[in-house]
Structure 1
Amino acid sequence: MRKVVVFDVDGTICFDGRTIGPDIVEALRSLRERCNLVFASARPIRDLLPVLPDDLHDATLIGGNGAFSRTGGELTVLGIDHADRVLIDRLIDEYELTVLIDGEWDYSFTGDQAHRIFRQLDAGQLASNIPREQIERYSKVVLFASDSRIEDELRRSPLSINVHPDEGIIDIAPSGITKRHALGRLGIADGAYVAFGNDANDELMLRHARTSYCVGVHPVLSFADHHLSRDDVAYAIATIEIG
């Protein structure tokens, strides 16, 4: 059985929100000859595809921190339960929040166009920005908010929550959904893969990897087996020991 290497994208192999450097792309292409690649991102699949070179589009993809997955060209989307959607909608209305809400493919964005997230949003013009009421089922939600009251309410729910205070966002996925959970759904067991990541939403994926690489410095990922600077990433991929 071919070995598996899993890569987070933004901040791990992509540093400008739009492209992957040519040295890293070359290393990924070489690595693909020896093992299966998985790209696991907070982005939905729609926004992940424009970042990857065309010849890597058929790799296994995980998006929305685990809410989306695509393998063999087949897209699977998990949604937020109705009761949790009611909670999210109430918080949006009560606190007059701006949002990015992803459905199965289309999305609803009401945030600041100067925010980093907007620059990454539907770069391939593959979907439509629609009112949130028209989204049949929420799959992933970003609240543009930095308010402990909102965080507290969300943490009392079953939802999966990642807070990014440096960006002023709260990232919400369906109950129990993480990148590690998505790997399990795809038949990739704990300890059966190598993983690269850089942020808190990569914690469980890295913690249960056979070998883990943290790009940059993050206190939640201090346990990682290897710590890399951006400049080290291409070399680390090129020289990785698959076992």
Structure 2
Amino acid sequence: MNFVFDIDGTLCFNGKTIDETIIAALKELIAEGHEIIFASARPIRDLIPVLPEQFKKGKLVGGNGCFISQNGKITANFFTPNLTQELHTIIQQHQLTYLADSEWDYAFTGSFEHPIYQNINHSSAKNTPLLELQKICKLVLFKPNSAVIDALSKLPVSITSYKNEDAIDISPLGINKVYGLEKLQIKEFIAFGNDSNDQCLFEKAQFSVCVGTNDVHKYASMTITKEEVAKTIIHLKNNILIKHF
């Protein structure tokens, strides 16, 4: 069976590491022939450092579907040049702070204390002026107001809101985590997630688990606490229903 895992708030709760009990449960899945796919809002650049060594070159979906990595090879989806210019205009008109990701480097103007900035792999990527990035795959806007949302709604983009962080995540239209799984030829899966960007996973999965009580939990098959993640993975691994998917 394919198991798809979000990272932050699902497996990782400090922005840097995954608890050893969860890693042990993941390794049990692999040992019994199941496949693990990680699907995160993080770009591949920031996803890889969190993963145990044996998973770094596995099947990865980053940037909510904007990035796909398999066997260490990354492919990416980009905004068109015209759309990039329209997004830049909105940023300038509303004086927004942001994080823009290219295939590897980034442009950031927000608070250095923000968790998103803290999770960037600064050792291998460079903070580059927005207009100097080669191509932009994904854009996070901080503290957007209703006028910003209205302007974005007129553009061919997908928007995910993060209420707890007062930010929105923007990607090319139709790009989400399920899109990334489809590119990896993953059709049937069990999903673990915790936030609004995991709704598409929950709606598509054969069985889904929400970690925490974010609003998205209503789309999941079950809701658990972060302390229950490892034992839930093992329970599902041992559950005979998995054999019938």
Give TM-score, length-normalised by structure 1. Answer: 0.94
SS in 2 for 1:176: coil
**Identity, % of aligned positions:** 39
SS in 2 for 1:48: helix
SS in 2 for 1:222: helix
| Aligned match of 2:72 | 73
| Aligned match of 1:214 | 210
Q: Deviations over 1:61-85 (max 9, x none)?
A: 1100000010122211110122321
Pick from 126, 129, 134 the counterpart of residue 128 of structure 1: 126
Give the aligned residue type for 2:72: G
SS in 1 for 2:219: coil
Task: Check whether the contact 2:59–2:184 (CA below 8 A) recurs between aligned residues.
Answer: no
Report which of the two has the higher share of helix.
2
Pick from 166, 169, 174 the counterpart of residue 168 of structure 1: 166
Q: 1:228 aligned to 2:227?
A: no
CA offset at residue 117 of structure 1?
A: 0.9
**After the TM superposition, which residues 57-96 of structure 1 pair with which residues of structure 2 at under 5 Å, given as runs?**
57-96=56-95
Task: Check whether the contact 1:146–1:165 (CA below 8 A) recurs between aligned residues.
Answer: no
Q: Distance in 2 between matches of 1:101 and 1:234?
A: 33
Question: Segments of 4+ in structure 1 off by > 6 A?
Answer: none
Give the aligned residue type for 2:211: V
CA offset at residue 35 of structure 1?
A: 0.8
**After the TM superposition, which residues 91-106 of structure 1 pair with which residues of structure 2 at under 5 Å, given as runs?**
91-106=90-105
| Aligned match of 1:6 | 4
Q: Deviations over 1:26-57 (max 9, x none)?
A: 11111112211000000000000111111221
Structure 1: give runs of 5+ residues left out of the alignment: none
CA offset at residue 165 of structure 1?
A: 2.8
Could you tell which deviates more after superposition, 136-145 or 61-70?
Answer: 136-145
| Aligned match of 1:116 | 115
Give the aligned residue type for 2:64: N
Task: Check whether the contact 1:199–1:218 (CA below 8 A) recurs between aligned residues.
Answer: yes
CA offset at residue 156 of structure 1?
A: 2.1
SS in 1 for 2:165: coil
SS in 2 for 1:90: helix
Structure 2: give runs of 5+ residues left out of the alignment: none
What RMSD over aligned residues (CA atoms) do the two structures have, in Å?
A: 1.2
Q: Distance in 2 between matches of 1:170 and 1:92?
A: 13
Q: 1:30 aligned to 2:28?
A: yes
Give the aligned residue type for 1:211: F
Pick from 155, 158, 167 the counterpart of residue 157 of structure 1: 155
